[in-house]
Amino acid sequence: MSSFIDGATKVILSFRGYAGEFISSIYPFLEIAALVISGLLFWGIIYTVSKSGYISTRIEYYMDYLGIGDISRRRQLKAWKQIVERMKTPDASNWKLAILEADKVLDEMWKIAGYRGETVDERFKQVPPETISNHAEIQQAHRVRNRVVQEPDFVIAHNEVLDVLKIYKKAFQELKARELEINRFFIDLPPGCEDDFFNNGGFPFIVGLHNQVEISERIKDVINSIISKDIIALKEFKTETIGKIYDLLYLLANSDLISYDKLQKALRIDNIRTLSALLEVLVMSGILLRIKSYGQTYGATRKTPKYFFITPSLRSAILDNNFPSGIEGKKLEDYFALIMHKDLKKTLAVDLRYDFAEGGADFILTLKDRSNIVIEVGFNKKETEQVKNTMKKVKSRYGIVFGSGKLGLVEDAIVKIPLKYLLLI
């Protein structure tokens, strides 16, 4: 038995030696063959994926998510080219698809414009007739679209489909022309005017002034005048307490959310009622706006409210335009709170709250029909996670992000709007 094992071992070892010598002699050829086969397989993978459209689809998804490029416009142009191609065929089903696709493109434009509703019909009802010249014609075209969807045997002639598509095309052209008009308006503005507005806007005497120090001092004079005249007239305070008002404004300008307890300690005010009275008169005098919190049980809670300045230039002047990290964006929140106070409350909304939860959005805007829109504002806003978090908590169907690089729509629910459009409100 042992002799058999010894013999088998010798055969195996001799074969291994022979095989090793043979493979060594042809190794360069094997290496080349392996590279060629790997290359062919890699090319096959690339070819298959590119033909499937997977790469372009994912690129568009991530560009939309990151807020770069102009994917919505590209999709619209691509869709319209497809509509034109469908109309070149003799197939009536393709003509019907062309109507559905044209209506879908227009609906996407309504969504980007901020019109709400769960269905196409609900969103179109929100569009004022004066928004577009062929509003009545669009209604007619949309009724044709509904017949295409609801009546499988609906028959429509080629020339009738062309008439319907002309209505949609006119609407597209008007909306695009309006976008170009807005862009031309901003092109004609001097460079840096948006920053100048947030830093110094809101006071007529600023016009013509260019020295930043002088502008800040003039705005501080306004604040001091309100403190020495209006606030004293509104409520009686001790001289020592009045002297702490400017320090209180500085602490508010220098922070996002600060508790009453910290304010008391920083200002050395013993009585919480005194601090509350100071904040109240600052609101009454028109320096501050108070925004309450929105609670986890979907109602207002007794959390510390946030205080915003009636104009961003007040915050800028108090801080001498030296903003700590994470605070400069508060200027935009000041401006949106002002828009709510001066404009939206009179026409569309009934309340504005902030989400106190970490990772939440800046504002929750409650409309007259009691529905909520979640709002996030900031410089160079790309992410939408904060809006999504708050939308989920307050059961909101829609959100808006002001401060994105491009106009866009995320998941048919969140509209991303460049900061310059906020200034048009």
Provide the CATH number for the domain around residue 321.
1.10.10
Tell me: do 182 and 263 sit in the same domain: no
The Cα–Cα gap between 412 and 406 comes to 16
Are 316 and 206 contained in the same domain? yes
Residue 338 lies in a domain: no
d(C-alpha 278, C-alpha 283), whole Å:
9
> Per-residue confidence at 251, pLDDT binned at 50, 70, 90?
very high
Same domain, 243 and 359: no
Whether 136 has a pLDDT exceeding 80, the answer reads: yes
**H-type helices in 310-384, by residue range?**
312-318, 330-339, 345-347
- One domain for residues 205 and 306: yes
Confidence of residue 192 (pLDDT cuts 50, 70, 90): low
Domain co-membership, 240 together with 318:
yes
Report if residue 337 sits inside a domain: no
CA pair distance 397, 99, nearest whole angstrom: 27
Q: Read off the CATH number of the domain in which 367 is found.
A: 3.40.91.50
Which whole-number Å values give the CA distances from 8 to 5, 12, 20, 387, in the listed order?
Answer: 5, 6, 18, 74
The contacts of residue 248 (CB under 8 Å, 6+ apart) are 263, 267, 278, 279, 282
Domain identity same for 29 and 138: no
**Does 407 map to a domain?**
yes
Domain assignment present for residue 342? The answer is no
DSSP state of 151: -
**What gap in Å lies between CA 252 and CA 304, rounded to an integer?**
13
- 181 with 263, same domain? no
Whether the per-residue pLDDT at 312 is higher than 50: the answer is yes
78 and 118, same domain (yes or no): yes
If phi over 0 gives left and psi between -120 and 50 gives alpha, with beta otherwise, what is residue 398? Answer: beta
pLDDT digits (tens, 9 = 90+) for 149-191: 999 889 999 999 999 999 988 888 787 777 666 666 666 666 6
pTM of the model: 0.60
- For the chain, the domain total comes to 4
202 with 321, same domain: the answer is yes
Give the domain extent around 45. Answer: 2-52
Mark whether 384 and 424 lie in a shared domain: yes
Task: Say if residue 8 is in the same domain as residue 36.
Answer: yes
Helix (H) or strand (E) holding 293: strand 293-294
pLDDT the model gives residue 135: 87
Query: Looking at the domain assignment, is residue 255 inside a domain?
Result: yes
Local confidence band at 308 (pLDDT 50, 70, 90 cut-offs): very high
Are the C-beta atoms of residues 365 and 350 closer than 8 Å to each other?
Answer: no
- Residue 46 within a domain: yes
What stretch of H or E contains 349? strand 349-355
Single residue among 167, 187, 207 that ends a domain in this structure:
187
Residue 216 lies in a domain: yes
Is position 131 within any domain?
yes
